[in-house]
Amino acid sequence: MRAKYSGPETAAAKRNFPFTTRSVHREFISSLAVIKKAAALANAAGGKLPSLVARSIARAADEIISGRLDHEFSLPALQGGAGTSINMNVNEVIAGRATQILKRKAAVHPNDHVNLSQSTNDVNPSALRIAGLNLLGTVLLESRGLAAALADKAKEYKDLRKLGRTHLQDAVPTTLGAEFAAYAASVERDIRRLEEVRPFLLELNLGGTAIGNSLNASPRYIREVYKHLRSLTGLRVKPAPNLMAQTSSQTDFVMLSQSLTALGIDLSRIANDLRLLASGPRGGLGEIELSPLQSGSSIMPGKVNPVLPEAVNQLYFMLSGNNETIQQAAQAAQLELGVMGPIIADRLLESLTATAEVVRQFTDKCVKTLRANTQTCHRWLEAANALATLLTPRLGYDAVSAAVKQAQAEGKTLREVVLARGLLMAREFDSLTRV
């Protein structure tokens, strides 16, 4: 039977919040443990905590970070109290395990030792920033991979002419490569927006304690805790210029969520385009083919659906809903504290995690493996008379309009009509209509 290290505050939270929502995100718990380790080392350096106790706290925190104590953290993500229950859950588990490590009963206290020089109000937001930065790194990695895959398709199909469409109606010629280059550029801009959030997230309110005025946190502790935190995380975290502002305002999380949502909008738009371009295969556009990943119907044999583009669409719906929740929760802060932190943490970390996972699958199993139907692209381009706009500067609007009407009436291509009328030679037509 696994040991239980949590205490009365965790038990009270379970009674008060007996909700069947998901548990607190593991990345959040891990980041809290990193802060507890850094705080213990900082307090020991300042002479406020015996080194033996500090080492036992650090060792217990390491076990949480490694996942060995995951069974100790089952509180629901939805809870009141600005996340005090989450902080106390971690405090109690570390205290219980550290006491066991020291082989002394009640040697380590969750508040007096583990939470020394801290408050839920500076620890939790700082942990969310660290967790957000870690997961953002994965989102950026996967998004760069997607942009590269789209750019590869742009190169592969740079000379494949096709029909461009506006309002879902025939427009002017383009190339399949140009469409994919535009997709790549959109994702690259989304990546730039996400990168711009990082400096904001690196500014923590750790050391501000309850309301940002650093009550019970010495200047030496603040210097030491950031030094250890930078060493433990590899992140260039630093105290915010105004710890009180950083304790009450949570708009940095809104900024991250909004940037994620912007990425989701572009991803969903691209996914919609791929669904349209791959529609059919006989009754739709059919200009590209997506890899057949699984059966698309339990009743229609041979049917294959665009399951990953559909997953991307649903990812955006999730991001959009989570973003609205995060915005409302951040706005609901009062005076010196952003009290709705738990729901912000839950929805933000869900959005980051899901985005990285979905983008990875979309890249590897959809974008990289799709292929063009060259003949279909050419057929739609010829049938649509889309080349007419390219002829107008040479032949004039009225002459081209007449040729288009004749082509439509006789079921011919524009090229056939123009050549038959003697308006252009074949070589001239092909030169003028080259995209």
pLDDT band at 388 (very low <50, low <70, confident <90, very high): confident
Segment 145-183, tens digit of pLDDT? 999 999 999 999 999 999 999 999 999 999 999 999 999
- Chain mean position to CA 37: 28
Report the pLDDT averaged over residues 207-236. 98
Please report the pLDDT score of residue 374 as a whole number.
Answer: 97
Please report the pLDDT score of residue 1 as a whole number.
Answer: 39
CA–CA gap between residue 258 and residue 250 (Å, rounded): 13
Confidence check: pLDDT of 3 > 70? no
Q: Which helix (H) or strand (E) holds 169?
A: strand 169-175
On average, the pLDDT of the chain sits at 95
* Of 85, 87, 88, 91, the residue nearest 61 (C-alpha): 91
Stretch among 238-242, 250-254, 323-327, 390-394 having the lowest mean pLDDT: 390-394
Tokens of 254: 């809104």
Report the pLDDT averaged over residues 359-369. 98
Confidence check: pLDDT of 302 > 90? no
Q: What is the pTM of this model?
A: 0.93
* Of 384, 379, 363, 392, the residue nearest 160 (C-alpha): 379
- Domain spans of the chain, in order of start: 8-116, 122-373, 385-432
Please report the pLDDT score of residue 150 as a whole number.
Answer: 98
Please report the pLDDT score of residue 433 as a whole number.
Answer: 84
Decide which of 326 and 391 is more confident. Answer: 326
CA–CA gap between residue 367 and residue 149 (Å, rounded): 7
Candidates 3.40.50.10680, 1.10.275.10, 3.30.300.30, 3.40.109.10; CATH matching 8-116:
1.10.275.10
66, 297, 401, 431: the active-site residue: 297
CATH of domain 122-373: 1.20.200.10
Is-same-fold flag (8-116; 385-432)?
no
Report the pLDDT averaged over residues 117-129. 98
Q: Are 196 and 208 in contact (CB under 8 A)?
A: no
Confidence check: pLDDT of 9 > 50? yes
Q: Tell whether omega for the bond before 110 is within 30 degrees of 0, i.e. cis.
A: no
CATH topology of domain 385-432: Ribonucleotide Reductase Protein R1; domain 1 (1.10.40)
Active site residue 297: yes
Segment 54-101, tens digit of pLDDT? 999 999 999 999 999 999 999 999 999 999 999 999 999 999 999 999
Alpha helices by DSSP H, listed for 157-242, are: 176-201, 219-233
Q: Using alpha carbons, list the distances in angstroms from residue 110 to 9, 83, 371.
A: 10, 16, 59
Confidence check: pLDDT of 213 > 60? yes
Torsion of CA 81, 225, 29, 14, to 10 degrees: -30
Amino acid type, 7: G
